[in-house]
């Protein structure tokens, strides 16, 4: 199983992908809770890989995580350019507007919550696209 991690200063996105390609967990967590959350997820799921974005605070996070995660969890960096825009589009597919609000143009819609967890999902998908034959 793979954990996707979108690192940030104040909040981070985390997603877990299972062998069936499903995401049994995806959440936005405060940066102070990331270590405990990742450790908990590594206990709950047989995680072998953490895929993380390579932009905001990624070097500091990678250094910190290498000392905390078990040796059986490797860490790979993924280019995260434009993932925020892609995550916004994915959000509307995952949580479509209902009723009359559907007539609002996409360019004027704003997600009702942070979408860092959807970025984490996209990071896993990018990694798999690049590294799966």
What confidence score (pLDDT) does residue 15 get?
98
Q: Write the CATH number of the domain with boundaries 2-131.
A: 3.30.420.140
pLDDT of residue 104: 77
At 4, the pLDDT band (50, 70, 90 cuts) reads very high
Task: Among 24-33, 56-65, 72-81, name the most confident range.
Answer: 24-33
Q: What percent of the chain has pLDDT over 70?
A: 98
Q: 4 has which bridge partners?
A: 15, 51
Calculate mean pLDDT across residues 30-54.
Answer: 94
Write down the pLDDT at residue 67. 83
Helix axes 83-94, 116-131, angle to 10 degrees: 110
Nearest-angstrom CA–CA distance, 132 and 9: 31
CB 83 within 8 A of CB 53: yes
Average pLDDT over residues 42-68: 91
Locate the domains of the chain by residue range: 2-131
- Bigger pLDDT: 34 or 100? 34
Mean pLDDT in residue range 59-88: 89
Whether 66 has a pLDDT exceeding 80, the answer reads: yes
């Amino acid at each position: 199983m793979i954990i996707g991690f979108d690192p940030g200063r104040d909040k981070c996105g985390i997603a877990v992908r299972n062998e069936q390609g499903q995401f049994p967990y995806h959440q936005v967590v405060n940066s102070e809770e990331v270590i405990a959350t990742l450790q908990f997820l590594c206990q709950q799921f047989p995680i072998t890989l953490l895929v993380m974005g390579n932009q905001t605070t990624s070097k500091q996070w990678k250094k910190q995580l290498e000392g905390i995660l078990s040796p059986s969890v490797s860490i790979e960096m993924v280019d995260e350019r434009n993932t925020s825009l892609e995550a916004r589009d994915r959000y509307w597919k995952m949580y479509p507007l209902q009723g009359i609000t559907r007539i609002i143009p996409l360019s004027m819609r704003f997600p009702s919550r942070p979408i860092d967890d959807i970025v984490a999902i996209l990071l896993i998908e990018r990694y798999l696209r690049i590294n799966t034959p």
